[in-house]
Amino acid sequence: MRVLILGGDGYLGWPTAMHLTAKGHEVGVVDNYLRRRLSREEDVETLFEPPNLHERARLWSEKSGCAVEVFIGDLTCWDFASEVFRKFSPDAVIHYAEQPAAPYSMLHRRAATLTLQNNLLVTANVIFGVHEFAPEAHIVKLGTMGEYGTPNIDIEEGWIEIEHKGRKGRFLYPRQAGSLYHTTKIMDTDLLWFYVRTWGLRVTDLMQGPVYGMVTDESGEDDRLFPFFNYDEIFGTVLNRFMVQAVAGYPLTVYGKGGQTRGYLDIRDTMQCVRLALENPPREGELRILNQFVELFSVNKLAEMVQRVGNKMGLRVQIGSVENPRKEAEEHYYNPVHQGLLELGLQPHYLTDDVLAEMLKVVGRFGANIQEHKIIRGVKWN
């Protein structure tokens, strides 16, 4: 299958490119290095600087014999986006090409505007590109569990049947997000759903929880093939941040009461989930929504696990409490369904002590790169 990965330089984009080529797919990657530029502008570069995409493609080709076609440019620009669609003729498109950080979107007005424009215009160009140049192609969109927020009822997989005043209807599950970034993902879903109904697009929306880890089957221990790894408050996800904090001897930054519960998954499971979605496409005119995570943890629970495993490894891990910079429920009901991907064949990796120890060891190799001033940056929601 010819698969175009938008945002192919990203934390998930590059590992996906290696994974899919290793499984025999033909892959093109598209990126404009936006995430690298924003990390530099905000002085929160990643734990190590990975080679550029052309260089990564060469390294991966030397190691695996698999080619990855590279397109560098800005997908908000139709001139570029249309050329990529025309040249590559994808059977499927994986759309990761978004500004992906909630705190970045809350940093200041310009960051909010960039997030809104980038995320919606890329999604629109993906829709128009598929419609015009690859009408049969399957769009796999990375959504987020954050679209649902933390409602007081069970979270279904995208859809809900509502009974109201004696009548029934089926609707997109009502969504209410906790950041501007997450709100742009709700808008993406609205946009895709409209064109699915109107033009008969074929779309999978993967509502993903926070991802942890760095090493995949394809990267192995070769750190030149690792994805970039943010550990700062702006672009880092919580468990990745905690691991770096543990290695640096910085008290783990639990926001508020720490009862915030989310569904997490190993980066290797993201690879599986995306491939399962690709290889089992929905029918034409269907918006299939799958909740993509493996296990629920509260922030407190994650901090305790990192502390316990870290201490066993000789780190002296402390847990700190930080005033919550976000507007979110710190204790809440949370019961999301996640059957769809298991039914497609997902074989989950769980967050065991061994997995945590392994990740802490890999992070430890880059210990000398950690800069403490990046850990907390004082981004506030209000």
Residue closer to a second copy, measured from CB, 190 or 222: 190
**Position among 41, 152, 221, 283 found at the interface with a second copy (CB under 8 A):** 152
Please report, as a single letter, which amino acid is at residue 290: L
Is residue 151 close enough to count as binding a second copy by CB under 8 A? yes
Q: How many of the chain's residues bind a second copy (CB under 8 A)?
A: 46
**Position among 33, 48, 80, 199 found at the interface with a second copy (CB under 8 A):** 199
- CB of residue 178 to a second copy, shortest distance in Å: 8
Of residues 16, 46, 144, 270, which has the active-site annotation? Answer: 144
Q: How far is CA 370 from each of CA 124, 248, 360, 376, rounded to the nearest angstrom?
A: 38, 7, 13, 13
Burial 332-367 (b: 16+ CB within 10 A, else e): eebebebebbeeeebebbebeeebbeebbebbbebe
**Position among 3, 97, 145, 180 found at the interface with a second copy (CB under 8 A):** 180
- Write phi, then psi, for 289 (nearest 5 degrees): -115, 125
**Position among 128, 318, 321, 332 found at the interface with a second copy (CB under 8 A):** 128
Helices 13-22 and 53-64 sit at what angle, rounded to 10 degrees? 30
Nearest residue to 133 (alpha-carbon basis) of 83, 72, 176, 206: 83
Q: What residue spans of the chain are helical by DSSP H?
A: 13-22, 34-41, 53-64, 78-88, 102-105, 109-133, 180-199, 238-248, 267-279, 299-312, 340-344, 353-364
181 is an active site residue: yes
CB atoms within 10 A of CB 326: 17
Is residue 117 close enough to count as binding a second copy by CB under 8 A? yes
Is residue 86 close enough to count as binding a second copy by CB under 8 A? no
Is residue 160 close enough to count as binding a second copy by CB under 8 A? yes
- CB of residue 73 to a second copy, shortest distance in Å: 17
Three-class DSSP category at 98: coil
Residue closer to a second copy, measured from CB, 191 or 344: 191
Is residue 114 close enough to count as binding a second copy by CB under 8 A? no
Residue closer to a second copy, measured from CB, 124 or 247: 124
Residues at the contact surface with a second copy, assessed by CB under 8 A: 78, 109, 112-113, 116-117, 120-121, 124, 128, 132, 151-154, 160, 162-165, 167-169, 171-177, 179-180, 183, 186-187, 190-191, 193-194, 197-199, 327, 333, 381-382
Residues catalogued as catalytic: 144, 181, 185
